[in-house]
């Protein structure tokens, strides 16, 4: 007989055809000295996932802030690129929020929005956040996926600011001075996630019948049981068999790997200074499709995407309304430069109009990302049903480096925990922006007591965003 005890529990053990060991808890049996445990079965219900979608240089407030609040609101032109009629049920926005940690251009805003903290040595060589970013806080607090990838860090544009410290160059931090390196090459992301296999099934360990695997152990145990205990065990095994049958008939997370991007992505797109942004729509779509598949396959449950870095030195070749440099007619102005070549107070100047066009292109790509998630099947719905996306930036209005009217987007329903299609505006004094990531952490099951430090610290969710 090989009945194995663990504390006050007893188990049957066996091995699946895949070679994976399995353990099955027993019901309460008077013939044994200790109580049994309930059987464990992995549910096919899709898990909740979390994603940071970050862009640089903020928004134009008058093109962003709806006039109505609640469930009935009209998105202004810039916000409308992500709150399309198809995406509207999934997209919420929070306004009249500010970064409560100390002001500092771009890096201070990014640290406040992502980490809820200010920078260590903000004007020296150690411009790093004082605490971990929200993606890493969540990754520490929820179960790791069967795929084993604790978190996934990706990027779009080639971004290196040349500024000392970490926040200008990375958005995901495990703690002070501990940034997570990102991958901006879709080919290496594909190899890392999918290799050369044609299909991905992170639950393959659990395929097959658990009962069949432990049958020999059960038969050995039966001989030592009383008649009443044999009846209890038989009833227990029957209920597990019925559960296995239901799970087998359900749509599990068996996934097909996406197309290898090596046929469309070239070395020059990655290595050339402007190679990515000359093909930004294709590159963004490709990376988001890889990410969507990784999430739907449950290879990871937490991710961050630095679409453009803090300050956004990005040049948009595909946006026709972005002005080009007079001395280099084929080279568009950089988003950050357009914000700084004007004081931001005179509307409709060519450079401010160009900055707005660049941010509109940013939102177009954000919207395309959300569409890819919405078109990705997940359980009985789509990925946006079970994912929540935290969209934010490094500033409010770029030319002024403002920390007020901070862009805060919530997209996705987190398995029904998030109320979609809502405009929440803090009344009166600007609210603490850190309450948004804290709320989303709780929506995906991260049981954290608070988020942020000092003035930005919060333990209050925004109930209007939750169901």
Average pLDDT, consecutive stretches of 10 residues, N- to C-terminus, the chain (467 residues): 37 52 52 36 76 97 97 97 97 97 88 94 74 98 91 91 78 95 96 69 48 66 77 68 48 69 95 93 97 95 96 93 93 91 63 93 98 96 97 94 95 97 97 98 97 97 97
pLDDT of residue 240: 58
In this structure, are 286 and 195 located in the same domain? Answer: yes
Last residue of a domain, one of 215, 230, 249: 249
pLDDT of residue 234: 75
In this structure, are 68 and 159 located in the same domain? Answer: yes
In this structure, are 128 and 240 located in the same domain? Answer: no
In this structure, are 279 and 398 located in the same domain? Answer: yes
In this structure, are 237 and 344 located in the same domain? Answer: no
| Tally of CA atoms within 13 A in the half-sphere of 98 that contains its CB | 15
In this structure, are 141 and 279 located in the same domain? Answer: yes
Last residue of a domain, one of 183, 218, 249: 249
Structural domains of the chain, count = 2
Beta bridge partners of 304: 52, 153
Last residue of a domain, one of 224, 249, 274: 249
pLDDT of residue 349: 80
| Tally of CA atoms within 13 A in the half-sphere of 349 that contains its CB | 14
In this structure, are 339 and 404 located in the same domain? Answer: yes
Which residues are CB-contacts of 280 (< 8 A; sequence separation ≥ 6)? Answer: 156, 157, 316, 317, 318, 361, 365
pLDDT of residue 237: 67
What is the C-alpha to C-alpha distance for residues 60 and 334, in angstroms, rounded to an integer? Answer: 16
Q: What residues make up the domain containing 222?
A: 4-40+206-249
Where do the H-state alpha helices sit in 145-276?
186-194, 210-222, 227-249, 267-271
CATH code for position 81: 3.40.720
pLDDT of residue 6: 34
| Cβ proximity of 6 and 32 under 8 Å | no
In this structure, are 211 and 135 located in the same domain? Answer: no
Q: Are strands 119-120 and 128-129 parallel, antiparallel or unpaired?
A: antiparallel
| Tally of CA atoms within 13 A in the half-sphere of 251 that contains its CB | 10
In this structure, are 116 and 31 located in the same domain? Answer: no
In this structure, are 105 and 19 located in the same domain? Answer: no
pLDDT of residue 42: 44
**Total-model pTM:** 0.80
Q: Are strands 199-200 and 255-256 parallel, antiparallel or unpaired?
A: antiparallel
pLDDT of residue 11: 52
pLDDT of residue 261: 96
| Cβ proximity of 373 and 292 under 8 Å | yes
In this structure, are 239 and 310 located in the same domain? Answer: no
For 195, the token pair is: 């290799």
For 418, the 3-state DSSP assignment is strand
Place of tokens 């004081």: 343
Alpha carbon of 174 to those of 53, 171, 341: distances in Å? Answer: 17, 10, 35
In this structure, are 99 and 32 located in the same domain? Answer: no
């Amino acid at each position: 007989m090989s009945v194995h005890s663990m504390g006050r529990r007893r188990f049957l053990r066996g091995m699946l055809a895949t070679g994976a060991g399995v353990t099955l808890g027993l019901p309460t049996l008077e013939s044994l000295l200790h109580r049994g445990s309930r059987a464990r079965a992995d549910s096919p219900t899709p898990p909740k996932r979390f994603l940071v979608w970050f862009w640089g240089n903020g928004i134009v407030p008058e093109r962003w802030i709806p006039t109505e609040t609640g469930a009935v609101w009209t998105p202004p032109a810039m916000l409308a690129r992500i709150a399309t009629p198809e995406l509207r049920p999934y997209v919420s926005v929070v306004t009249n929020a500010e970064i409560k940690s100390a002001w500092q251009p771009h890096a201070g805003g990014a640290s406040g929005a992502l980490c809820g903290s200010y920078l260590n040595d903000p004007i020296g060589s150690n411009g790093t956040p004082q605490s971990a970013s929200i993606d890493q806080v969540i990754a520490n607090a929820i179960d790791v996926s069967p795929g084993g990838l604790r978190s996934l860090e990706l990027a779009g544009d080639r971004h290196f600011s040349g500024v000392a410290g970490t926040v200008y160059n990375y958005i995901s931090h495990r703690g002070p001075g501990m940034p997570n390196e990102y991958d901006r090459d879709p080919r290496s992301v594909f190899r890392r996630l999918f290799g050369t296999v044609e299909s991905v099934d992170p639950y393959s360990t659990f395929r097959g019948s658990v009962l069949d695997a432990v049958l020999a152990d059960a038969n050995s145990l039966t001989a030592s049981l009383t008649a009443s205990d044999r009846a209890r065990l038989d009833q227990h095994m029957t209920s597990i068999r019925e559960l296995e049958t239901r799970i087998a008939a359900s749509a599990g997370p068996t996934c097909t790997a996406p197309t290898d991007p090596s046929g469309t992505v070239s070395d020059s797109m990655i290595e050339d200074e402007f190679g990515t942004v000359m093909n930004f729509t294709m590159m963004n779509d490709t990376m988001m499709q890889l990410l969507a598949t990784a999430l739907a396959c449950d290879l990871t449950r937490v991710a961050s995407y630095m679409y453009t870095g803090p300050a956004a030195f990005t040049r948009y070749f595909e946006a026709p309304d972005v002005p080009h440099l007079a001395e280099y007619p084929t080279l568009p102005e950089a988003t950050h430069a357009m914000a700084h070549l004007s004081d931001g107070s005179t509307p409709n100047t060519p450079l401010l109009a160009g900055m707005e066009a660049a941010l509109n292109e940013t939102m177009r790509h954000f919207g395309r990302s959300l569409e890819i998630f919405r078109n990705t099947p997940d359980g009985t719905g789509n990925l946006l049903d079970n994912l929540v996306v935290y969209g934010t930036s490094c500033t409010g209005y770029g030319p002024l480096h403002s920390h007020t009217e901070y862009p805060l987007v919530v997209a996705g329903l987190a398995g029904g925990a998030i109320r979609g299609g809502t405009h929440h505006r803090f009344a009166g004094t600007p609210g603490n922006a850190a309450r948004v990531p804290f709320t989303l952490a709780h929506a995906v099951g991260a049981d954290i007591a608070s988020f942020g430090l000092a003035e930005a610290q919060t333990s209050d969710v925004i109930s209007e965003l939750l169901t």
